[in-house]
Structure 1
Amino acid sequence: MSWIDIGHIDEVPLRGARLVKTHIGCIAVFRTAETEVYAATNSCPHKGGPLSEGIVHGQSVTCPLHNWVFDLNTGEAQGADDGRITTYPVRLEEGRILLDDSAVTRRSAA
């Protein structure tokens, strides 16, 4: 895997998110704990709600428009039949958030 440095973990608020612009669109980076981050598509499949503006809780995010809840590990919607978001591999290295470059070049973020 090839990794892209997208910033320091302190640039993402605890239990919050920030957007990272890529050539395929914006990806939301979620910080669920002091040293725990996830990356996923920013758009809810239901009505396109901006997930980076949603509520981060546990290892999930709730869409700000219609309260769909997504597991940040799998991308699966909890309690919705067809709901799923794309997740992307990320890791932390010395406080830096690294995003898998190959994952964002072979998948669509929206």
Structure 2
Amino acid sequence: MKVFATNKSKLLPLVGRSVTIGDQKMALFEISDGRIFAIDDYCPLTEAPLLEGMVAGEYVFEPMRDYKISLVDGKIQEPDQGKVAVYPVSVAGDKIYIELAD
């Protein structure tokens, strides 16, 4: 199910934007090449919000312990372990949609 999340014009490159769909809180990130990623706004290792993390390339760095998390597949990079849910994103004009499981 594709759900409207926000407008692309509301994003700032490399700065997270919070969106809530139902009871699910997500963070949207636009990286330097213009691609947009949606990821759960929650680190399973620290329970910290990922929204406040620093973005470098295709990764967000969790703000409390600096865990490196892939925006592409949600994997927490070695030597740490874990995974964060990521969601497919599509853009139509200025509208950003997130694909949720039915």
- Normalising by the residue count of structure 2, what TM-score does the alignment of the two structures yield? 0.89
Aligned length: 102
Match for 2:41: what amino acid?
N
Match of 2:97 in 1: 98
The 2-side partners of 1:86 and 1:18 are apart by 16
The 2-side partners of 1:34 and 1:11 are apart by 17
Match of 2:24 in 1: 25
Deviations 1:48-96 (A, max 9, x none): 1110000011011000000001111110011144321000111111132
Structure 1 unpaired stretches of 5+: none
Alpha-carbon distance, 1:36 to partner: 1.0
Question: Is the contact made by 1:71 and 1:77 (CA closer than 8 Å) also made in structure 2?
Answer: yes
Match for 2:71: what amino acid?
L
Question: Is the contact made by 2:13 and 2:30 (CA closer than 8 Å) also made in structure 1?
Answer: yes
Deviant stretches of 4+, over 4 Å: none
- Normalising by the residue count of structure 1, what TM-score does the alignment of the two structures yield? 0.83
Taking only the aligned residue pairs, the percentage that are identical comes to 25
The 2-side partners of 1:72 and 1:81 are apart by 16
1:7-86 map, 5 Å: 7-33=6-32, 35-86=34-85
Match for 1:25: what amino acid?
Q
Higher helix share: 1
